[in-house]
Amino acid sequence: MAVATATLSARLPGNRQEAHAAFVVELTQFSGPLDLLLSLIRDEQLDIRDIPIARIAEQFLARIATLALDDAAEYLEMAAHLLRIKARMLLPRNEDDESWEDPRAELVRRLLEYQQMREIVDLLDVRAESRRNRFARAFLPEQPAPPSAPLALSLGELLAAVDRIIRAVRTPTMHDVVPRALDIDGAIASVRATMAVRASASWTDLLDPAAEPWQVLSLLLALLELARRGEVRLAQPAPFATVEIARDIAASEAA
């Protein structure tokens, strides 16, 4: 690992500022070291199960040579891995050795697995694209009302507002309901005054033709009251005839 890293460092250019700009482009192009590796294999039309590891490692390093070290740990790890495989391939071996295992086997397995995943990606991509192009009924749940801001209000402002409102409100048209109390005592006095000088009188004599209803009622109640007290006697010769009022002599004398 140490050897591989040393080799790698030697290959990386010193100017990392320029390298960084290039790395951004690379990132959008490849989703990872396996992706880059697979793309190299595809470009060279190589058999994935029999990769010329030295050549691929060389090209891989060339491609990541422009990458900034800090951001490209995953690519560097792969580069180191490739170099390690390359070194192991160089080790002398006996052709008949049954126990020999191709140092590339693990990488090949990973590449195939990754390639399979890429196929799934393509499939999902097609699916997603087909769904993206169809709109469903949009449903926007009602946004909860934002919490109301605390009131910033002085007493002066409040009073000013009240004042404005009071001014704005027009004076309501109101009916003045004036209680017109019946003046029974007044009517009694009036009847007594009349009956003091006359022995009898009729309803119409006692009532002013222009009398208001309260006066009519007051007179009626006054007459009934006086009749109860026995000061006058009331008589109505016929239904709807004018009421005749006569002084009750006995009562007034007794009084």
Partner 1 sequence: MTSPLAKLLEAALFASARPITIEELAGLDADATGDDVAEAVAELREHYDTDGHGVELTEVGGGWQILTRPEYTEAIERAQLAARPHRLSAAALETLALIAYRQPIGRAEIEEIRGVVVGGVLKSLHDRGLIEVTGRAEGLGRPLLYGTTPVFLEQFALRHLEELPRADELAIALRSTAAAP
The least distance separating partner 1 from the CB of residue 110, rounded to whole angstroms, comes to 7
The least distance separating partner 1 from the CB of residue 59, rounded to whole angstroms, comes to 17
The DSSP symbol for 101 reads -
| Identified binder of partner 1 from the candidate list 24, 90, 124, 193, rule CB under 8 A | 124
- Footprint of partner 1 on 65-94 (CB under 8 A): 74, 78
Q: Give the full edge-to-edge strand order of the sheet including 200-202.
A: 200-202, 244-247, 232-235
15 versus 133: smaller Cβ distance to partner 1:
133
Binding-site size, partner 1 (CB under 8 A): 40
Which residue, chain included where needed, has tokens 């402002």? 157
| Identified binder of partner 1 from the candidate list 47, 97, 119, 142, rule CB under 8 A | 119
Token reading at 240 = 């709807």
The least distance separating partner 1 from the CB of residue 22, rounded to whole angstroms, comes to 19
24 versus 105: smaller Cβ distance to partner 1:
105
Instruction: For strands 232-235 and 244-247, give the pairing.
Output: antiparallel
126 to 155: interface string for partner 1, x by CB under 8 A: -xxxxxxxxxxxxx----------------
The least distance separating partner 1 from the CB of residue 27, rounded to whole angstroms, comes to 9
The least distance separating partner 1 from the CB of residue 65, rounded to whole angstroms, comes to 19
CB under 8 A: which stretch of 8-16, 31-39, 160-168, 211-219 binds partner 1?
31-39
Residue 246 is a binding residue for partner 1 (CB under 8 A): no
Residue 32 is a binding residue for partner 1 (CB under 8 A): yes
Helix (H) or strand (E) holding 244: strand 244-247
The least distance separating partner 1 from the CB of residue 75, rounded to whole angstroms, comes to 9
115 vs 47: CA distance, rounded Å: 13
Residue 120 is a binding residue for partner 1 (CB under 8 A): yes
How many Cβ atoms are within 10 Å of 60's Cβ, its own excluded? 21
CB pairs under 8 A, 24+ apart, for 80-86? 80/1, 80/4, 80/5, 80/8, 81/107, 82/53, 82/56, 82/57, 82/107, 83/3, 83/4, 83/7, 83/8, 83/57, 84/1, 84/4, 85/53, 85/57, 86/53, 86/54, 86/57
Provide the binding-site residues for partner 1, judged by CB under 8 A: 31-35, 49, 74, 78, 101-102, 105, 108-110, 112-121, 123-125, 127-139
